[in-house]
Structure 1
């Protein structure tokens, strides 16, 4: 904490949990066309958090901090067991190369290429813009069988800010795995669909710091100056 404003905002936060905004990365989870209202498998409330997500990604771009879009691509049997039967039966959800698998266009940087399934399914990061990438995750957590941990380490990241789609599933699993890697973790409730007071209280008990979009945007801008 380098300013009075920062100290005031994080007053009472355990110093071992307090976010280090200047060494943070934004993780945007499963914000794909099929999972938003109007898509093949919509998650209620996802469109409603898009304005907050836009504010976050723009703040991280301005600050020159990493943005990681973590996505699903359902192909073959490499799918969560609970969805395997539906995918095997041909359910049209985030199929590689389909319009529904695309990241919501409001969230990608100008001039970003479309998702490249061969790169992503091979477990490699796809560059979308300066210090902004896409990663494919085969299960709930953004850390499971992905290069995310290595990518964060290479960039000196010790704090992850988690936002995106359907809190009880993928964001929550990501939060747990981030905590197990001794990362400082922030969840942005007004930029995550599917949140509940109970769920947020539970992750707060793991040491997750809860911050609204406006506070994260202000903190990232301050520490970039």
Structure 2
């Protein structure tokens, strides 16, 4: 593995994408909940940062992406039960829609935050990069819902910013061999929850 691609586990952060109640109907998302939970627990035990990325579709907002803009009742409406992070990830912490929509992070634990993203990728029009850089992070580990859309976009954006990148193949919904091979071709490391947990410091 190239020295430029190898994860630096002592400077890694976990980015969990769109694990919200309204998205549990997306194929494979319910099935990865235990693995995402185990991964988050491993990062907490290692004292490494965690960012939970969420969508919030305010009716009529330009932040609703085009494929969903025509829906009468878009999912993850701010303040709705469907917008909440799935129980246990990170826990029973109600989201603060006003805070999140302002672009500010909501703290839910030690070096653990929730951050709103207005589009597919978690770095687009957010403070994610600055928050990670402040903590010396150079390796981004991605899990969540669902690979063709937001995790994939986030990994491309991370690579464009010279972060080392990892996708946790058994903690992301709608993976396939072809999709994972496409990511590996741009230098994303494809690893399992077990492999990541065993590699973390401590």
For residue 14 of structure 1, give the secondary structure of its aligned residue in structure 2: coil
- Once the two structures are TM-superposed, the CA of residue 106 in structure 1 deviates from its matched residue by 1.9
* Partner in structure 1 of residue 162 of structure 2: 182
Q: Which residue pairs with 1:139 in the alignment?
A: 119
- TM-fit CA distance, 1:107: 1.2
Query: Whole-Å Cα distance in 2 between the matches of residues 90 and 18 of structure 1?
Result: 43
Shift of 1:90: 2.5
- Which 5+ residue runs of structure 2 have no aligned equivalent? none
Unaligned runs of 5+ in 1: 1-12, 37-41
The answer on 1:116 being equivalent to 2:96 is yes
Deviation digits for residues 102-121 of structure 1 (CA, Å, limit 9, x no counterpart)? 00012114xx5310000000
Over aligned residues, Cα RMSD in angstroms?
A: 0.9
Q: Which residue of 1 aligns with 2:68?
A: 83
**Matching residue of 1:151:** 131
Select the residue among 104, 107, 110 that pairs with 2:89: 107
* Aligned with 2:142 (options 127, 139, 162): 162
- Please tell me whether Structure 1 or Structure 2 has the larger radius of gyration of its CA atoms: 1
- Within the candidate set 38, 45, 59, 2:28 is matched to 45
After superposition, the C-alpha distances for 1:31-70 in whole angstroms (9 at most, x for unaligned) are: 000001xxxxx11111111111111100111111100000
How far apart, in 2, do the equivalents of 1:29 and 1:90 lie? Answer: 22
Comparing both structures, which one devotes a greater share of its residues to helix?
A: 1
Q: Distance in 2 between matches of 1:127 and 1:146?
A: 15
Partner of 2:107: 127
Within the candidate set 190, 204, 212, 2:192 is matched to 212
Structure 2 CA distance for aligned equivalents of residues 30 and 121 of structure 1: 15
What TM-score results when the alignment is normalised by the length of structure 1?
0.87
Aligned-partner Cα distance in 2 for 1:146–1:195: 25
Structure 1 consecutive aligned stretches of length 4 or more whose deviation exceeds 6 Å:
none
Does residue 22 of structure 2 align to residue 34 of structure 1?
A: yes
Q: Which residue of 1 aligns with 2:173?
A: 193
Structure 1 residue 18 corresponds to structure 2 residue 12: no
